[in-house]
Structure 1
Amino acid sequence: MDDITVVIPVYNQAFPLSLTLHGFTQQETPYNKVPIIVVDDGSTEPVEAIVETYANELNIQYISIPQGGRSRARNRGIEQIKDGLIIFNDADRIPRQNFIKSHYETYKKLGNNYIIVGQVRDLYLAEQQNRKHILDRFYHKKGDRIPQYCRLVYSLYSDEGTTDSQIAWLSMFSGNLSISKSLLNQVGNFDEGFKEWGFEHFELGFRAHLNGAKFYYQKEAQNVHLAHPRRLNNYIDSMKNSHDYFYKKHNMEVVRHLLDFMLGKLSLEELDQISRHGHTLENQLVKKSFVKITNF
């Protein structure tokens, strides 16, 4: 199949990458032969050796670049692709068996102007380096769940996967996402000005939204994130820096209030009102759903 390509950016994470690539060997035929581009963002771990172990099982290409961040790594992958659907999958996210098929069939049904959001699931592990234990839990679906933030933004979609929300770009997770090359040609690639965690995927989604792109949630396109602890204070500082860059680029009310939403100070419903009206509506009985910062 020559109109699908998977792009996997990686910085170190050699062990999770080995599990993720294993997941791609288990895709339904003929999707197990879809081209995969692994972009190594200046790793010090033996990423190339991991890729080489799958050279006979997968249609895989390895690219090494000097460390420049996730946006640059994804963009180097995009630059190798002429047309068709690009599926983004992070190095620590094991795809379920129908992952590629679900993204691709949705793309063929909807066309080039849709961004397809897959279902993100988290698996928290006590034994981070035990391959047999991890794959046993993955295959038997033991303990993986949709993270709180994802559940929140998936509520913007109908049961059929459609949405008319003006903030659906909040569900644009580059760890499980597909977008056509023609749409990227129209709106541009990931902004390499984002250097710290977060928001480069939201900003691309926001740009696509401003250019009339539509969003679709395909809950069957699942991958499982091998979750790891995060240092909360550093995480918040990174979000603040990324938001500052985002807002300087898009000086709009909904972007100005994005950080308050991400820090749990503003509800999803209030942010939606701001996106539609430029402000929240007073004295209105609306449900209020808040992000829990510890659940990222």
Structure 2
Amino acid sequence: MSVLSATVIVPTYNRADLLVATLESVARQDVPVELVVVDDGSSDDTAEVVERYARSMGARYVFQEDRGYRVAAARNEGVRRATGDVCVFVDSGVVLGSSAVRAHLRAHQGVTGPAAVIGYVYGCEQDEETTEQMWSETRLEDLDATMDRFGEQGRWLDMRESFYQRYDDDIAPLPAPWLVYWGGNASVRTDQLCKVGMFDEAFTTWGAEDIDLGYRLHQDGATFVLARDARSVHLPHPKKYAEREAACLENYRYMAQKYASPVVDLLTEDPLVDLRDMNAEITARGLIQPA
């Protein structure tokens, strides 16, 4: 079996301070990686930050004009420049464990046919009240030990943890595993990504562009895999939850119009069904039976 190569794609916007931590974690990977950083129009020191890693590990910097929220377009710019067999998407502000990319590649090699691999993200459910506490417990200089401790203590677990436990981590047979294919730490074969049309650039507000891609990957036959060893930490930073929820609902409606699928239609129900509960709801309603 040939050894797969990886391109890590990091979209970013005005997060130079957090980006440093993300890129440092990529530089510490225990396998060679190609790194592409796509700047969605930053006005801070993002370019200078990337330049440091251009010198040390050949990182490439791509700038696109600030025309609003265009993370889908930013990721696609990264894909167009990728030479790796696998694209690993990592958000700025997410830091990878030292063997995370290796774990992504191992997961792809363990599947017959294309795979959509989901990495594990500690801390992505923290809020403003817990930000200081999480920072105090996170050691960037020894991130692997930090994540070992989080796991042992059951702290700052991935917000999808209860979902994973419900299905004993075996998410591939579910009717809609794409609902937890979130772009902060995820990977896909580059050839399949291009085949399905990459990210839909019509998404110009926060949310759903990643599960939209996941839906098309699933339709194209990808096996969805949870790679717990592809570990990361979502570093605390401010979020505007109310704005995000409104934007996400609009994006769900767009998906429903695009696909005309009873499963996708569930995304727009009032009250909203939690993404982590939707597979159970799909099965209960008999919309799609698990394979």
Length-normalised TM-score, structure 2: 0.83
Instruction: Give per-residue Cα distances to partners, 1:1-25, cap 9 Å, x unaligned.
Output: 8831111111111101001111122
Query: Take 2:268 and 2:156, find their aligned partners in 1: how far apart are those partners?
Result: 25
For structure 1, the residue ranges without an aligned partner over 5 or more in a row are 281-296
Query: Take 1:112 and 1:83, find their aligned partners in 2: how far apart are those partners?
Result: 17
CA RMSD of aligned residues (A): 2.9
Query: Take 2:134 and 2:165, find their aligned partners in 1: how far apart are those partners?
Result: 31
- Contact conserved, 1:9 with 1:91, CA < 8 A, in 2? yes
Q: Would the alpha carbon gap of residues 157 and 36 (structure 1) be closer, same or farther in structure 2, given more than 3 Å must change?
A: farther
Match status 1:145 vs 2:156? yes
Q: Would the alpha carbon gap of residues 199 and 265 (structure 1) be closer, same or farther in structure 2, given more than 3 Å must change?
A: closer
Q: Would the alpha carbon gap of residues 21 and 279 (structure 1) be closer, same or farther in structure 2, given more than 3 Å must change?
A: closer
- Contact conserved, 2:116 with 2:225, CA < 8 A, in 1? yes
The structural deviation recorded for 1:263 is: 3.4
Matches within 5 A, 1:1-296: 3-28=5-30, 31=31, 33-68=32-67, 69-82=70-83, 84-122=85-123, 124=126, 125-126=131-132, 135=140, 138=143, 140-141=145-146, 145-148=156-159, 150-155=160-165, 157-159=167-169, 161=170, 163-260=172-269, 263-264=272-273, 267-273=277-283, 277-278=286-287
Percent identity of equivalent pairs: 26
For structure 2, the residue ranges without an aligned partner over 5 or more in a row are none
The structural deviation recorded for 1:105 is: 1.7
- Contact conserved, 2:174 with 2:279, CA < 8 A, in 1? no
Query: Runs of at least 4 residues of structure 1 off by over 3 A?
Result: 127-130, 136-140, 155-159, 259-270
- Contact conserved, 2:135 with 2:235, CA < 8 A, in 1? no
**1:287 aligns to what?**
none
The structural deviation recorded for 1:44 is: 0.9
- Contact conserved, 2:171 with 2:177, CA < 8 A, in 1? no
Query: Take 1:113 and 1:45, find their aligned partners in 2: how far apart are those partners?
Result: 38
Instruction: Give per-residue Cα distances to partners, 1:70-93, cap 9 Å, x unaligned.
Output: 000000010112451111111110
Q: Would the alpha carbon gap of residues 242 and 176 (structure 1) be closer, same or farther in structure 2, given more than 3 Å must change?
A: same
* Count of matched residue pairs: 273
SS of 1:72 mapped into structure 2: helix
Q: Would the alpha carbon gap of residues 103 and 279 (structure 1) be closer, same or farther in structure 2, given more than 3 Å must change?
A: closer
Query: Take 2:197 and 2:165, find their aligned partners in 1: how far apart are those partners?
Result: 27
Length-normalised TM-score, structure 1: 0.82
The structural deviation recorded for 1:257 is: 0.9
